[in-house]
Amino acid sequence: MATLSYFLIGPTIVTSIIGLIYGRDKTTPTPAENWRDAVVDAIIPAYNAEAEIDLCIASLARQTLKPRHIFVIDDGSLDNTKVFAEDICKRLNLTNVSIIRREKSIGKTPSIEKGAYESDADVEFVLDSDTILVSENYLERLVEELYKGVGIASACGIIYPLKEKDRSKLLADEKVGNALKDHFKCYPQAGYYKRNTNLQRFARFITNLYRDVMYKFLQKFIYHAEMIFFGTIINPVGCAVAYRRKYIKDIFLSARETLGNDLTTSEDIYIGFAFTNEGYRNIQLLDVSACTLEPYIQRLPFQVFLWSSAFLQSVYYFNYLVSTPFKVINKLIYKIRNRKNEEEFKARRKIKEQYRQSFGVDITRKFGRPIGWFIFTNTVEKILFPTIFLLFIIFGWWEVFLLTFIFESLISSLLVAMSTKGERIKMFFKSLLTSPLRYFLLLYDLVVIFKFITDLWITKHRAWRK
């Protein structure tokens, strides 16, 4: 979720409002494939995940759509990840699980790539070990929507910060609760919620408070507008996402010769850009949800560094997307010249799909992609806003800085409140309360920009990998 600048009032907001006013593509999809026939394999990459792996597996076990096989990849963990995973699978009577232990950690990206190459499944579902699927039909809904068009490459639900109530709800579940309780009796050190000190709880509470505001605003306003306007978001939220395996395999194959596994510092952002570059769509559903464990507040800047870096790295790799606004004249001329042919072809098409685009990098090179408008505005905001605030500080324009902070915080909080129906007053004050942290992270993006420039043009060290 690194695409949005931490200064919320900007061209991305304007583009989002235009999208909401413009409305959806009203085409009724007529899929050529039946989603119920899709074979789904699940991959759970895990590293030092003994505190969360049990809840993650249990949430997958209660899904209405069962994966054909579940692969738990212990990526060289230094704790009891493998032991705890084996125990909870046994207690849940899961026989379709393979737990693979690596002696040395090589990262999350190779695990996803290996699954894409070696599996013969239609769908590869990637679930982070610190994530719980809240909706029992989460996976089912993702696969159903994934098969509403050949142009859809990935699907994810809405993501929230993991809270104590989410763990408690899973423990109370009649399908998996008893197995989890027995597991915790056998291994008292399991279960993250039992191991937190008061100070740690407070550190995560601050992160959850901030992320609750940002996640809801980003997904219920910005991503929602992107979906309505262009039928896609820039990249899927990678902690619980379903990919068409063939498509993601092609992405890894195309990157293998030049990048290997060193894609970006957050693989889901690179994958989302790569799909968009080919003309595919990354969709998000608002009717199913998952919760992911947030870092302690002191670790938040590092996570922001990974996400923001991955966004800039992807912009560098897929520069045809960010230049979309500068190709609008070419696209307009092409549409005028080929309007009649396009209308005839559309009328003859038997299989209907919303937001259908022509596939291929050549199309992107010539005309960009519709979602490229959002990529462009986000890129401008990522670089411009931190730079402006740095100038405020350098020249001592403290009054301007303070007035901007107050005005922007109020307007942003109003936007957050408007986009969170049912909890508007609470979210307004949450947004105001977390504004100082948001501004700190805005300035921290300067560190990201400096490191990106250094990697690109000074050290030329581009071994970017998660």
Interval 273-316: pLDDT, tens: 999 999 999 999 999 999 999 999 999 999 999 999 999 999 99
| Residue labelled with tokens 């085409």 | 27
Task: Give the rounded distance of the alpha carbon of 7 from its chain centre.
Answer: 20
Determine the pLDDT at residue 191: 63
Please identify which residue in the block is written with the tokens 């994810």: 156
Q: For the whole model, what pTM was predicted?
A: 0.93
First vs last C-alpha separation in the chain: 15
- How many other CB atoms are found less than 10 A from the CB of residue 27? 14
Give residue 466's pLDDT.
66
Q: Exposed, middle or buried by CB within 10 Å (0-12, 13-18, 19+), for 39?
A: middle
Burial category of 95 from C-beta neighbours within 10 Å (exposed 0-12, middle 13-18, buried 19 and up): exposed
pLDDT of residue 257: 82
Per-residue b or e along 230-264, where b marks 16 or more CB atoms closer than 10 Å to that residue's CB: bbbbbbbbbbbbbbbbebbbbbbeebeeebebbbb
State how far the Cα of 39 lies from the Cα of 121, in Å rounded to an integer: 5
Q: Which of 318, 235, 323 is nearest to 280 (CA)?
A: 235
Beta carbons within 8 Å of 340's beta carbon, 6+ residues apart: none
CATH architecture entry for 1-466: Alpha-Beta Complex (3.90)
Q: Which residues of the chain have pLDDT under 50?
A: none
Predicted confidence at residue 8, as pLDDT, reads 66
Q: What confidence score (pLDDT) does residue 337 get?
A: 82
d(CA 170, CA 177): 6
